[in-house]
Amino acid sequence: MTFLISTVAFIVLLTILIIIHELGHFTAARFFGVDVEEFGFGLPPRAKTLFTRGKTAFTLNWVPFGGFVKLKGENEVDTQKRFEKGSFASASFPARILILCGGVAMNFLLAFTLLTLGFSVGHWVPNFYTSIEQMQEAAARGEISMETGVYISAVLPDGPAAKAGVLKDSAIQSVNGTPVAKPEDVVALQKGKSHVLYTLMEGKEKKIRTVDVGLNDGKSGVAISAFAAKLSAPLRSVPTAVHVAWRETTFMTVQTVKGIGNLIHSLATTGHVPEGITGIVGIAVLTYSSVQEGFMTYLRLVALLSLSLAILNILPLPALDGGRLLFVLIEMVIRRPLNQRFELLVNAVGFFLLIALILVITFNDVIHLF
């Protein structure tokens, strides 16, 4: 049942993100008098025409993901038809720029709205606290609530802890039955002793295990640090939630741009997809996990992906909105239309390169599943 719900949630997620994006293009185009010939739900081939309103045919297509809008004359090679009244090319430069940015704007707006909702009624904890020190400062200001724990970041080979079977990436819950929250607690409880009992929480399953560990001069041979064991956030007013959502949007935008940069650099230098980059399969796995954790977690994933889609689309790469925007800006500077065949060729090549990149990332996702 959970798998079925997750599958539906995955399809709904992708469809909402892309339909919202295309709705931005559609609304901007109609506002500036550009005819929209088709608004498609799903991807071609066409299954049926649902209805026609004005000059726009609203269609249902066989591939059940996303959608698209077809603007009059946008792929027309014939110069006369390309510049007919109501065509994309006949619109002013500011109008074309805003039409191309309409989809990105809608994805940003969706992400920002969901983040504002989550940071108000959803009690979400922001991601822009990137260190334990920042979290502790935020907790002191009352922005979040936090309980710290003790994390084992390394186990020295042949040390007492290693011999006792203590594992790296575990958390020390107590020493000799006394709960610990900071590395200093562990140091104090081990002072002057020859051995101690560690109660450990291990792995993703959070398995609890007690281990008898010998000590050398009060040390067990592990590197420990504080980590956020429990995080929560208070109910925020709408103005506060808006402020936090803006900070989160800015932070996530910067991180996404860095991630795309790392992807390009890694592929160019090593031919490998770096950690943290995921595609359709990875998104499906994340959707499954978010559905299990609850509706608000699912909404946060929608917000993150909507923002990522906006940033990806505005990049000045062929076949993306940013690439088409670049052609409009070049045309605006040189004050004459570009060769449409050349533009279509560049976008076609860019589209196939984009598909190839998606396949590489998807292959990487599948490999990581096993």
pLDDT of residue 281: 64
247 & 357 share domain: yes
CA distance 66 to 43: 7
311 located within any domain? yes
97 located within any domain? yes
CATH number of the domain at 211, please.
Answer: 2.30.42.10
255 located within any domain? yes
SS (H, E, C) 161-204: HHHHCCCCCCEEEEECCEECCCHHHHHHHHCCCCEEEEEEEECC
40 located within any domain? no
At 149 the three-state DSSP class reads strand
248 & 288 share domain: yes
- Which of 183, 198, 232 marks a domain boundary? 232
Residues 6+ apart with CB under 8 A from 309: 17, 18, 21, 107
Residues 6+ apart with CB under 8 A from 172: 149, 150, 151, 152, 180, 186, 198, 199, 200, 224
150 & 110 share domain: no
Q: Which of 67, 56, 55 is nearest to 22 (CA)?
A: 67
CA distance 147 to 139: 9
Instruction: Measure the CA dihedral 225/227/229/235, to 10°.
Output: 150
What backbone phi and psi angles, to 5 degrees, belong to 46? Answer: -70, 135
At 212 the three-state DSSP class reads strand
Q: Which domain holds residue 165?
A: 145-232
pLDDT of residue 3: 64
Place of tokens 């559609």: 26
154 located within any domain? yes
Residue 215 is classified by DSSP as -
116 & 228 share domain: no
60 located within any domain? no
Q: Beta partners for 19?
A: none
pLDDT of residue 288: 65
346 located within any domain? yes
pLDDT of residue 369: 61
Q: What is the count of structural domains for the chain?
A: 2
255 & 287 share domain: yes
59 located within any domain? no
Written as tens digits, the pLDDT of the chain (370 aa) is 566 777 777 777 888 888 899 999 999 999 999 999 999 988 788 999 999 998 899 999 887 767 889 999 887 878 788 888 999 989 999 999 999 999 999 999 999 999 999 999 988 999 999 888 899 899 989 899 999 999 999 999 988 989 989 999 999 999 999 999 999 999 999 998 988 999 999 877 788 999 999 998 889 999 999 999 888 998 899 999 999 999 999 999 998 888 888 888 787 787 777 676 666 666 666 676 776 777 888 899 899 989 988 998 898 888 788 988 998 999 999 888 877 788 888 878 877 877 777 777 777 767 766 6
Q: Which two tokens stand for residue 241?
A: 């939630």
255 & 339 share domain: yes
271 & 315 share domain: yes
250 & 227 share domain: no
117 & 264 share domain: yes
- Which of 232, 266, 299 marks a domain boundary? 232
Place of tokens 């790392």: 262
- Which of 232, 261, 284 marks a domain boundary? 232
CA distance 307 to 297: 16
247 & 208 share domain: no
CA distance 71 to 35: 6
253 & 356 share domain: yes
Could you tell me the sign of the dihedral formed by the alpha carbons of 361, 362, 365, 370, in that order?
negative
Q: Beta partners for 145?
A: 232
- Half-sphere exposure for 35 (CA within 13 Å, toward CB): 16
284 & 313 share domain: yes
